[in-house]
Structure 1
């Protein structure tokens, strides 16, 4: 039983364990805390999504649907092993499960059969949805299994838990089958082995120079002809970077700039980004400014010029 990590501690713990983290929008403050408590935390729960395609999977896990609002987990573990953080705090992932299982997790002893649904698990478990169809045929790539192992070990290491604090949804809620395609016993064995080794500090290679976005061309295009700078390779690349960032923030449904334009749809999405930063009125007109673009670039790995 423990107090939940802060969002910053959570992301740092994952990275320290060697996890490749992708931060999606304002994930640190996206939660269901208004509907009930978050914590004390007692363990980690692993799910599969029954979806295909990382972008679509991340979107539904972040936003949820009409019957179950998001976030539906804290992190989405993609097939390539990247972990997309979509929310932090209470999340709609565990639902009602067996209170005897919770007590076994707390005591770190073998799990009893899950034959009741009498306890809300959402306050008590960090949740990870794993991109998989869950049909028993969809493969689990090595990178994805390693990521499951790493995120689980990272959380257990922080709280001083053993591998017995990690369970599958099928071990919690009667009728559930996820994760399907590997056993939780085998995954706990992997986590136990990892917890026995202290992570070594990594020596990452020198980062490549950040790509550059030309602010003056973006401003000119957003204010006048959205295709005015078409044909300028640097400009077009900059638009693609901005649109990719807006898409990652959940503000743009698709990327439009195949022709190097900064059209009305992108202007509308950028205005939403400005409002998220606290701008209003004419300050949130969708025309990129140095401060708002710098903040977007800091989150998504580009710098600005002019």
Structure 2
């Protein structure tokens, strides 16, 4: 079990590892603690932002979206390696994840006691968003990678963790691809953290998170009850899984990934269908089994029904 340090100590811990820190507004008290507990912490999670421009990115991760209020992380690591602290405490960055993955992040001598199907990552991880388009083409400068290594090292050193306590968003939730792109070599990051800590790098990867299941019939019902249709919109939790995949595919803006199969999601899914070669009424944004299975195969979910 690890108790998060005070906000001021957190900033000092990062600076002590050579991190250039910028404190943004009231970051020390900007959090989501009213929505749930913060801590104990078990690791450091790294994300990419799917945005361009440092100032814009800082504002987004601090304030969030209408469907996902900020802060969306504790710090944003810019292209030049500067770490902008935007919040401290509970942050909307990790979401629910696989308890087996958490068990692998926690020291093996401390097995997890939570046997629920999902674990609240917002409670248990420090989160750092990194300025990157997330399209697999936007490069990761050396300065940014060095800052990621130093941030992870600083918190691992403070809590007496190994490099295995660092993880990517894709290690926590299936369907996620962040962080990715030229210059992002996760094995190199972990080896560099281990070198700074004076320990051996991890030899075994963390277990892959279990795939979520999307019920095709429920998804179609939700899609057909979009705002332009009559009646009450149908809600279904699997919509968020599909929307996350569409964000990763580059067809849906992250701010519209809200669990509601509205016009933005329909348009995004139609683009995916056209990408697969469908035309006309076959590319109307309403999922079919073949197109949904192709999306699931690529972004980590299983289709049933």
**What is the TM-score with the length of structure 1 in the denominator?**
0.61
Distance in 2 (CA, whole Å) between partners of 1:4 and 1:29 is 14
Question: Hey, what's the Cα distance between the residues in 1 that align with 2:192 and 2:151?
Answer: 12
Kindly state the Cα deviation for residue 193 of structure 1 after the two structures are TM-superposed.
Answer: 0.7
Answer yes or no: is the 8 Å Cα contact 1:98–1:117 preserved in 2. yes
For 2:77, the equivalent position in structure 1 comes to 77
Listed as ranges, the matches of 1:181-220 within 5 Å are: 181=181, 182-196=184-198
- 1:135 deviates by 1.0
Partner of 1:76, secondary structure, is: strand
Match of 2:48 in 1: 48
- Look up the match of 1:304: none
2: CA distance, partners of 1:61 / 1:36: 19
Residue in structure 1 matched with residue 95 of structure 2 by the alignment? 95
Equivalent residues in 2 for 1:1-306, closer than 5 Å: 1-107=1-107, 118-181=118-181, 182-196=184-198
Q: Unaligned stretches of 5+ in structure 1? A: 110-115, 198-306
- State whether residues 31 and 89 of structure 1, in contact with CA within 8 Å, keep that contact through their aligned partners in structure 2: yes
TM-score, normalising length: structure 2: 0.61
Q: Is the 8 A contact 1:74 1:86 kept in 2?
A: yes
Q: How far apart in 1 are the matches of 2:101 and 2:191?
A: 19
Offset of residue 119 of structure 1: 1.3
Indicate the SS of the match to 1:66.
coil
Residues 48 and 131, structure 1, Cα contact 8 Å, conserved in 2: yes
1:69 alignment partner, SS class: coil
Q: 1:48 to 1:139 in 2, by over 3 A?
A: same
Following the alignment from structure 1 to structure 2, what is the Cα–Cα distance between the partners of residues 21 and 108?
Answer: 32
Q: What is the distance in 1 between the residues matched to 2:117 and 2:70? A: 21
Alpha-carbon distance in structure 2 between the residues aligned to 1:117 and 1:148:
30
Deviation sequence 1:203-240 (CA, Å, 0-9, x none) = xxxxxxxxxxxxxxxxxxxxxxxxxxxxxxxxxxxxxx
Number of residue equivalences: 191
Aligned mates of 2:16, 2:104 — CA distance in 1 = 28
Distance in 2 separating the partners of 1:184 and 1:167: 9
Q: Give the superposed CA RMSD.
A: 1.5
Where in structure 1 do 4 or more consecutive aligned residues deviate above 6 Å?
A: none
* Equivalent-residue separation in structure 2 for 1:16 and 1:108 (angstroms): 28
Aligned residue number for residue 221 of structure 1:
none
Verify the 8 A CA contact 1:108 1:162 in the aligned structure 2: no
**Structure 2, unaligned runs of 5 or more:** 110-115, 200-305
Maintained 8 Å contact 1:167/1:184: no
Structure 1 Cα separation of the partners of residues 175 and 186 of structure 2 = 16
Counterpart in 2 of 1:258? Answer: none
